[in-house]
Amino acid sequence: MVTSSMETHNRFGLLTISLVLFLTLTKSLSSTAFDVSEYEGGESIDIADSILSYGSEMGDMEENEWQMVQTKGNQFVVNDQPFYVNGFNTYWLMVFAADQSTRGKVTEVFKHASSVGMSVCRTWAFNDGQWRALQKSPSVYDEVVFKALDFVVSEAKKYKIRLILSLVNNWEAYGGKAQYVKWGNAAGLNLTSDDDFFSHPTLRSYYKGHVKTVLNRVNTFTNITYKEDPTIFAWELMNEPRCTSDSSGDVLQDWIKEMAFYVKSIDTKHLVEIGLEGFYGPSTPQRYQLNPNAYAQQVGTDFIRNHQVLGVDFASVHIYPDSWISQSIADSHLQFIKSWMEAHIEDAEKYLGMPVVFGEFGVSAKAPGYNSTYRDNLINTVYKTILNSTKKGGSGAGSLVWQLFPDGTDYMDDGYAIVLSKSPSTSSIISLQSTRLALFNSLCSKKCSWGCKKRNLLEKVLYHDEL
């Protein structure tokens, strides 16, 4: 489905209206919400004008260049203006786009996400040796599937959604490192562990070949090379890398160093992240107590050390207490989420000097004791922790819920799927978070940091607990 410029402008108009309505509601809850007399110099700040100006700027973006996301200290910026992330995961977009009978679902996902203000999607730019494989064998590609990925990128841009593209899987789904080992053995390498993916030079060369091919791909819909396309938010080296055969973390650390450098040698414009779950490793034993279980410190990852690698631009963390701690949901999981997030935000500020994105979080409907109210509480916990960092100018740069589905795709549900049309309360929570972040970005322009006179006003407007 092609989105006309009129439809897009209407969408931004609706966002503007929703922001103004949000401010009206806030004002009704607090008679002091718009009292600006306390600000230095007595300068009046017209919130409505700021919001309308933001809506106008968003509309102007249609005519102006779609700019790359960059980092500035511990924040993301676009055009030197803050860019906080409220986004989602939908990993299967490329595979669905490869079949004309399901391609429309890709458009639906972006349309629904855009309707609640989501601005970033994380998805797979890999499918190795499997059904509808992108990479059928090392450096051999299915052009039909590659054109499907082209479609995903071009369609995302129509809805002003940026993409984090992951380049390989740690797990066997969609091929992963296990498929690379199979290819190596087929070539006579006699490999014995899936973790040989990280250390064997031939498998490293296979991975580099994939990176080079994807980054240099010219999109058949837009005629823009991937490495030049601002629709791509960032490259992710791997989905949830683990190297359990080396608990010291040295093997994975060496792989991250080589591959982050390699990506940057091809593409200096885009951001790079690792794709880690966030477990603390041997370089910070004092942080072991924050891990969800004892096994987490033995999987070969090391949150702080890994993210100190040159070429890594922001930190990634995942949040799955129903998988890591216990399957049965509990309020203690919510406390874990808050502590887990706050620890990583603190580390990103003190030791890394970079933003941190909570790239996956959710709860399975298959978990014992699950109900939709609990899911809403979990999402709210994540969102509030992000906002608490935002109002302090911290490193908490955003989150991506796992995962957003359109109607009619229940057969793909892993238990975590959120269908917005069937989840009005969850949809409202997501929309409010998007509105708050958009409002912050509009008021804190490139000439206004969190030390500015608008800070207290923003705190009143954005963080009403009653909302």
Cα–Cα distance, 292 to 299 (Å, whole number)? 13
Question: How many other CB atoms sit within 10 Å of the CB of residue 372?
Answer: 14
| CA 96 to chain CA mean position, Å | 20
pLDDT value for 460: 56
Q: What is the mean pLDDT of residues 148-170?
A: 98
Token pair, residue 124, equals 């797979």
Q: Which amino acid is at 349?
A: E
In which band, very low, low, confident or very high, does the pLDDT at 463 lie, cut at 50, 70 and 90?
low
pLDDT value for 1: 39
One DSSP character per residue, 22-91 reads: HHHHHHHH-TTTT--TTSGGG----HHHHHHHHHHHHHHTTTS--PPPEEETTEEEETTEE--EEEEE-T
Q: Does the pLDDT at position 77 exceed 70?
A: yes
Q: What is the mean pLDDT of residues 199-213?
A: 98
pLDDT value for 39: 28
Q: Which amino acid is at 139?
A: S
Sheet order of strands, 70-72 included: 70-72, 75-78, 81-82
Instruction: Print burial letters for 106-134: b (CB count within 10 Å at least 16), e (below 16).
Output: bbbbbbbbbbbbbbbbbbbbbbbbbebbb
Burial of 33 (0-12, 13-18, 19+ CB in 10 A): middle
| Mean pLDDT (the chain, rounded) | 87
C-alpha angle 50-440-122 in degrees, rounded to nearest 5: 125
pLDDT value for 206: 98
pLDDT value for 439: 87
pLDDT value for 273: 98
Q: Does the pLDDT at position 49 exceed 60?
A: no
pLDDT value for 459: 56
Reported as a single tens digit per residue, the pLDDT across 84-138 is: 999 999 999 999 999 999 999 999 999 999 999 999 999 999 999 999 999 999 9
Q: What is the mean pLDDT of residues 193-207?
A: 98
Cα–Cα distance, 133 to 369 (Å, whole number)? 37
Reported as a single tens digit per residue, the pLDDT across 216-258 is: 999 999 999 999 999 999 999 999 999 999 999 999 999 999 9
Q: Which of 155, 236, 240, 349 is catalytic?
A: 240
Q: What is the mean pLDDT of residues 41-54?
A: 41
Percent pLDDT > 70 in the chain is 81
C-alpha angle 452-457-459 in degrees, rounded to nearest 5: 95
pLDDT value for 442: 78
Reported as a single tens digit per residue, the pLDDT across 6-37 is: 333 333 344 444 444 444 344 333 332 323 22
59 versus 176: which is more confidently predicted? 176
Measure the N-to-C terminal CA separation of the chain; round to a whole number of Å.
Answer: 35
HSE, side-chain direction, 13 A CA sphere, residue 86: 29
pLDDT value for 440: 81
Q: Tell me whether residue 360 is one of the annotated catalytic residues.
A: yes
Cα–Cα distance, 126 to 109 (Å, whole number)? 19
